[in-house]
A and B are shown apart, each in its own frame.
Chain A
Amino acid sequence: MAMSKEELKKAIEEKALTSPKPQLYIKDFYAVDPDTKPRDMKNVANEMVREGKLMFWSSGSTTMYAIPSRIKNEEGAGGIGNVE
Chain B
Amino acid sequence: MAKRETPLLDQLESGPWPSFVTDIKRQAETKPECWDILGILELSYKERITHWKHGGIVGVFGYGGGIVGRYADVPELFPGVEHFHTVRVAQPASKYYSSANLRQLMALWEKYGSGMTNFHGSTGDIILLGTRTENLEPFFWDLTHDMGQDLGGSGSNLRTPANCIGESRCEWSCYDTEEVCHSLTLHYQDEIHRPAFPYKFKFKFSGCPNDCVASIARSDISVIGTWRDAIRIDQAAVKQYVAGNYPANGGAHSGRDWGKFDITKEVINLCPTGCMWMEGAELKIDEKECTRCMHCINVMPRALRPGLDKGASICVGAKAPILDGAQFATLIVPFIKVSKDNDFEELIEFIEKVWDWWMEVGKNRERVGETMQRVGLPTFLSVMGIEPIPQHVKEPRSNPYIFWREEEVEGGFARDIDEFRAKHKA
B100-135 CB contacts (< 8 Å) to partner A: 121-123, 133
Residues of A at the B interface (CB closer than 8 Å) are 25-27, 37-39, 42, 46, 49-50, 55-63, 66, 71, 74-75, 77-84
Starting from the known contacts A58-B69, A84-B122, 6 additional A-B residue pairs (CB-CB under 8 Å) come to: A25-B364, A26-B197, A42-B194, A56-B59, A60-B68, A61-B200
For B195, the chain A residues whose CB sits under 8 A away are 26, 42, 46, 56, 58, 63
Please report the C-alpha to C-alpha distance between residue A72 and residue B196 in the assembled complex, in whole angstroms. 25
From the candidates A50, A66, A84, name the one contacting B62 in the complex (CB within 8 A): A50
Q: Is A39 a contact of B359 with CB atoms below 8 Å?
A: yes
For A25, the chain B residues whose CB sits under 8 A away are 156, 198, 364
Q: Is A79 a contact of B122 with CB atoms below 8 Å?
A: no
Nearest-neighbour CB distance to chain A for B333, whole angstroms, equals 22
Please report the C-alpha to C-alpha distance between residue A22 and residue B83 in the assembled complex, in whole angstroms. 22
Q: Is B55 a contact of A71 with CB atoms below 8 Å?
A: no
Q: Is B356 a contact of A38 with CB atoms below 8 Å?
A: yes
A58-B65, A74-B56, A75-B56 are contacts. A63–B157 as well, Cβ < 8 Å? yes
Binary interface profile of B, 188-205, with partner A (CB < 8 Å = 1, else 0)?
Answer: 000000111111100000
The chain A residue with its CB closest to the CB of B52 is A79
The chain A residue with its CB closest to the CB of B67 is A58
From the candidates B53, B71, B322, name the one contacting A82 in the complex (CB within 8 A): B322
A56-B57, A58-B64, A75-B83 are contacts. A26–B154 as well, Cβ < 8 Å? no
Q: Is B55 a contact of A26 with CB atoms below 8 Å?
A: no
For B1, the chain A residues whose CB sits under 8 A away are none
For B194, the chain A residues whose CB sits under 8 A away are 42, 46, 49
Please report the C-alpha to C-alpha distance between residue A39 and residue B122 in the assembled complex, in whole angstroms. 27
- Subset of 23 A-B contacts with CB under 8 Å: A27-B364, A38-B360, A42-B196, A49-B64, A49-B194, A50-B62, A57-B56, A58-B56, A58-B57, A58-B59, A60-B154, A61-B200, A62-B364, A63-B64, A63-B155, A63-B156, A63-B157, A74-B133, A77-B55, A79-B54, A83-B54, A83-B86, A84-B322
For A37, the chain B residues whose CB sits under 8 A away are 356
Please report the C-alpha to C-alpha distance between residue A71 and residue B195 in the assembled complex, in whole angstroms. 19
B210-263 CB contacts (< 8 Å) to partner A: none
Residues of B at the A interface (CB closer than 8 Å) are 53-59, 62, 64-65, 67-69, 71, 82-83, 86, 121-123, 133, 154-157, 194-200, 320, 322, 355-356, 359-360, 363-365
A25-B364, A39-B356 are contacts. A56–B155 as well, Cβ < 8 Å? yes
Q: Is A74 a contact of B57 with CB atoms below 8 Å?
A: yes
The chain B residue with its CB closest to the CB of A77 is B56
Q: Is A58 a contact of B53 with CB atoms below 8 Å?
A: no
Q: Is B55 a contact of A78 with CB atoms below 8 Å?
A: yes
Q: Is A57 a contact of B57 with CB atoms below 8 Å?
A: yes
Q: Is B123 a contact of A84 with CB atoms below 8 Å?
A: yes
Nearest-neighbour CB distance to chain B for A70, whole angstroms, equals 11
For A59, the chain B residues whose CB sits under 8 A away are 54-55, 155
Q: Is A75 a contact of B71 with CB atoms below 8 Å?
A: yes
Nearest-neighbour CB distance to chain B for A12, whole angstroms, equals 14
Q: Is B156 a contact of A26 with CB atoms below 8 Å?
A: yes
Interface centre among A27, A60, A83 (most CB of B within 10 A): A60
For B199, the chain A residues whose CB sits under 8 A away are 61-62
Nearest-neighbour CB distance to chain B for A81, whole angstroms, equals 7
A26-B156, A38-B360, A61-B199 are contacts. A84–B57 as well, Cβ < 8 Å? no
Please report the C-alpha to C-alpha distance between residue A79 and residue B73 in the assembled complex, in whole angstroms. 11
The chain B residue with its CB closest to the CB of A42 is B196
